[in-house]
């Protein structure tokens, strides 16, 4: 029985109990400031982060994490996990990935047939990509498919945040997902080909938005 697709859908599902819905990653402040005000500007904001942020750092790092788990290269996992935690520019961004990673670690222990390696538990703090990559490796999901689902899940969460914060209608959300989804395969291929010396999370707009969100007066989201 081929369970790769069902496992991948489970991993990318909004029902995964990690609390992703409670974060906007600076989008809420972008709405507050007027940078994001309608479907077009919301789509532009999300697409920019997808291509210039996740695509150039988080996605290639995730691919490397999955390969490291699959090869039992635990020191490499530890290094990449630490690199990702260090890359979070604001306290909210760092708290987000640590909370989601913690939730994944707890979840994997609650699944009876999920083999949690002791090296995973030995990590003082688990980033969300490290927990996701472990599951993808355990379930033998191809790296390309894992990246595609990860980026799609992120886009879906960002669109849902935009629907609430702008606000926008459901049809606008589906139009945005169609447009963003068409960009994902290219981002995945570029991430798979990007050598580590060219990884970059240089997104000053995101860093400023997340920092300013920390003191935003009225908020729906935690980041």
The pLDDT score that the predictor gives to residue 217 is 77
Alpha carbon of residue 121 to chain centroid: 21
The pLDDT score that the predictor gives to residue 1 is 63
Residues 198-221 have pLDDT tens digits of 999 999 989 899 888 888 877 888
Both tokens assigned to 105:
């670690």
Q: In the predicted model, what is the mean pLDDT of residues 7-15?
A: 95
The pLDDT score that the predictor gives to residue 71 is 97
Confidence at 131, pLDDT banded by 50, 70, 90: very high
The pLDDT score that the predictor gives to residue 214 is 87
Residues 30-71 have pLDDT tens digits of 999 999 999 999 999 999 999 999 999 999 999 999 999 999
The pLDDT score that the predictor gives to residue 162 is 96
DSSP H helices, 56-197, are 59-70, 74-86, 91-110, 118-122, 128-138, 143-165, 170-181, 184-193
Position 81 pLDDT exceeds 90? yes
The pLDDT score that the predictor gives to residue 75 is 97
Q: What percent of the chain has pLDDT over 90?
A: 88
Both tokens assigned to 29:
């402040």
Residue whose tokens read 């049809």: 171
Residue whose tokens read 């707009």: 205
Q: In the predicted model, what is the mean pLDDT of residues 164-179?
A: 97
Q: Which fold has domain 22-213?
A: Urease accessory protein UreF (1.10.4190)
Position 100 pLDDT exceeds 70? yes
Residue whose tokens read 């595609």: 148
Position 174 pLDDT exceeds 90? yes
The pLDDT score that the predictor gives to residue 2 is 86
Integer-rounded Cα Rg, in Å, for the chain is 17
Q: What DSSP element (H or E) covers 12? A: helix 4-12
Residues 6+ apart with CB under 8 A from 69: 77, 117, 133, 134, 136, 137, 138
Mean pLDDT for all residues in the chain: 95
Residues 23-37 have pLDDT tens digits of 999 999 999 999 999
Q: Decide: residue 102, CB within 10 A, 0-12 exposed, 13-18 middle, 19+ buried.
A: middle
């Amino acid at each position: 029985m081929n369970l790769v697709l069902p496992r991948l859908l489970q991993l990318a599902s909004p029902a995964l109990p990690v609390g992703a819905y409670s974060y906007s990653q600076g989008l809420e402040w972008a709405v507050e400031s007027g940078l994001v005000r309608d479907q077009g500007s919301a789509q532009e904001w999300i697409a920019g982060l997808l291509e210039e942020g996740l695509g150039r750092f988080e996605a290639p790092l995730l691919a490397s994490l999955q390969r490291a788990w699959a090869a039992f290269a635990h020191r490499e996992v530890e290094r990449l996990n630490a690199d990702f935690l260090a890359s979070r520019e604001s306290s909210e961004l760092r708290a987000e990935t640590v909370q989601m990673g913690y939730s994944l670690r707890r979840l994997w222990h609650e699944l009876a047939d999920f083999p949690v390696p002791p090296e995973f538990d030995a990590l003082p703090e688990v980033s969300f990509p490290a927990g996701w990559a472990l599951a993808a490796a355990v379930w033998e999901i191809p790296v390309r498919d894992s990246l595609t689902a990860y980026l799609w899940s992120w886009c879906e969460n960002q669109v849902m945040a935009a629907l609430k914060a702008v606000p926008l209608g459901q049809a606008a959300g589906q139009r945005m997902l169609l447009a963003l989804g068409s960009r994902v395969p290219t981002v995945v291929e570029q991430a798979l080909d990007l050598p580590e010396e060219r990884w970059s999370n240089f997104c000053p707009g995101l860093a400023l938005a997340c920092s300013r969100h920390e003191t935003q007066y009225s908020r729906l989201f935690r980041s």
